[in-house]
Amino acid sequence: MTDEKFITVALPKGKLFNLSAELLKKVGWTADGLSEKSRKLVITNESARLKFIITKTADVPTYVEHGAADIGIIGKDVIDESAKNIYELLDLGFAKCHLMMAVPKDKKRLHLEDYSNTRVATKFPRIAERFFSERGMQMEYIKLNGSIELGPIVGLSESIVDIVETGTTLRENNLEEIVSIMDSTARLIANRVSYKLKYQRIDNLVTSLKKILSHE
């Protein structure tokens, strides 16, 4: 577990980092040198009793679940895919996107069920399997970590399940969304033990963030 005198915050690299850091800064939760490009593995604010760790997006729930971080900020899509034993405290409202299924425009089928027993490339096999299983569809899941859109283009899969914001990448690769699976925004999460041991500070943070978000 983390130091009882400090709150350790896990922040994700990438597009969520600056949005998360700016929001926390508004409530005084920051530290000198807090930057996505920092070479320090742990960035500390001694006077405020705060520590920050910057990690890969998919690893944030893991750090929080195991108590290496007390709290973290991460997308709902990553939370659901990770299936970690954590508390989800607050919907922060930013980084809006949605998880969807897309296929090549020239290979569209009439019904969703017509894609049963085909291959789907995705970073989110757990969410995808739950979605398709609920509809009685058996699929072959191919886990990819890079450009998911490449799957159907090179014949690796018939479809993809991926996060989309504007849809530009889909259009550029002649893919078309055929069904939306879930909406996602950034969430504040907490370690279950930390939430009890450090309840006052974490609850004060949630209250402060709610006030800020209500005025934005």
Q: What is the pLDDT of residues 84-113, one digit of tens each?
A: 999 999 999 999 999 999 999 999 999 999
Q: What is the per-residue pLDDT across 114-161, written as a single tens digit (0 to 9) for each?
A: 999 999 999 999 999 999 999 999 999 999 988 999 999 999 999 999
Q: Compute the distance between CA of residue 78 and CA of residue 80 in angstroms, rounded to an integer.
A: 6
pLDDT of amino acid 104: 96
Q: What is the per-residue pLDDT across 12-34, written as a single tens digit (0 to 9) for each?
A: 998 899 999 999 999 999 999 99
> Is domain 97-183 classified as CATH 3.40.190.10?
yes
SS3 state of residue 152: helix
pLDDT at 3 over 80: no
Residues of the chain with CATH 3.40.190.10: 7-95+185-214, 97-183
How sure is the predictor about 36, in pLDDT bands with cuts at 50, 70 and 90? confident
Buried b / exposed e across 176-199, counting CB within 10 Å, b at 16+? ebeeebbebebbbbbbeebbebbe
* CATH architecture of structural domain 7-95+185-214: 3-Layer(aba) Sandwich (3.40)
**pTM of structure:** 0.91
